[in-house]
Amino acid sequence: MGKNKLAHFEENKSFPHFFQPSYEELVKGFIWKGNWRSGFFKNNNALVIEVGCGKGEYTVGLAKKYPDKNFIGIDIKGARMWRGARTAIDENLKNVAFIRLKIELLMFCFSNCEVDEIWITFPDPQPRKKEIRKRLTSPRFLEIYHNILNPPGHVHLKTDNLDFYSYSLEQVKSNRFKLIYHTNDLYHSDFSGDAPIIQTHYEKIFLNEGIPIKYIQFSMKQAAINTSEPTEGSFFQKVYEVARMIPYGRVTSYGSIAAFLGSKGSARMVGWAMNASHSALDSIPAHRVVNRNGMLTGKHHFGGPDIMKQLLESEGINILDNKIIDFPKYFWDPMTEL
């Protein structure tokens, strides 16, 4: 380990706004959990966190812009976080803190509904199959955010990775969260919020390489059911009603939905409905509908050839050669379940 890293680790220990709780401390009860506003920041201002904060560019940059809000950067890389912590000291920012922590332990540091906003800035896209559940927008992390966010708190995601962007967008839709804005090229979009005004170290590298920056903003409040969906008469609407009831970690088939709706010969039309659902304003878990053999025949309609597979794998369903392994185990039949 380099001398600078060692020096940064040591200096982090001296910062009054830098916390490195042990697991034992977390289990026993972290001192500021549920008490960040009145206890640490000594105000009642909104609380914003940046997960996977790196050097803390957003934590510090937004703290400067919004002195009437509190900001906390969270990462496991202490040497990187030193930069943001040091800047906060040098610029006398009283509305900034940092926690060296694994993101999956957030619930030990924040009470239910204690956080008002979350930023996820250029996390590791975790491209390999066995790493999908480590993505910071996978179901287990979304559940954590949902618990600590004060509804209708917003989540912001910035990434350079198209596959991760598409995966995250489908997660938002399949969970029926309220999608506020998304673009696969932020700096050539009409977005005028805070996302473009701060650029992280890695973001500048990506931009210099000509890689477009992707951005998603959503609320974890579930979207209201939209009645102006793309339809073929009322049949599409009925298909969507059934699809929304498919449980997490289960799948059904086009033919099973058609049979449940009293139209056994309309499996192909159910497939058309699933394809059209990607342009619906509210969210339909189309990835949970496959063909009668468990094949992912609709995978090309998900913004990337592997997104449907990744969404199913993130729900614990194993896929091999675009086919669900042990399909009967996960099969959900609306005829018997509803």
Position with higher pLDDT, 140 vs 63: 63
227 contacts: CB under 8 Å, gap ≥ 6:
237
Query: Is 316's pLDDT higher than 70?
Result: yes
**pLDDT, average across residues 227-238:** 57
Pairing of strands 96-100, 289-290: unpaired
Phi-psi region of 122 (alpha: psi -120 to 50; beta: other; left: phi over 0): left
Determine if the peptide bond prior to 21 is cis (ω within 30°).
Answer: no
Kindly indicate whether the domain formed by 3-222 is annotated with CATH number 3.40.50.150. yes
Q: Name the nearest CA neighbour of 1 among 78, 75, 104, 106.
A: 78
**pLDDT, average across residues 197-203:** 90
| Active-site option among 124, 163, 185, 306 | 124
160 tagged catalytic? no
What residue segments make up the domains of the chain, in order of their start?
A: 3-222, 235-337
Fold for the domain defined by 235-337: Arc Repressor Mutant, subunit A (1.10.10)
The Cβ of residue 32 has, within 10 Å, a number of other Cβ atoms equal to 19
Q: What pLDDT does residue 190 have?
A: 93
* pLDDT tens column, 55-74: 999 999 999 999 999 999 99
**pLDDT, average across residues 180-187:** 95
Query: Is 323's pLDDT higher than 90?
Result: yes
**Residue 280's pLDDT band (boundaries 50, 70, 90)?**
low
Q: What pLDDT does residue 223 have?
A: 54
**pLDDT, average across residues 248-275:** 88
Query: Is 156's pLDDT higher than 80?
Result: yes
Q: What pLDDT does residue 272 have?
A: 81
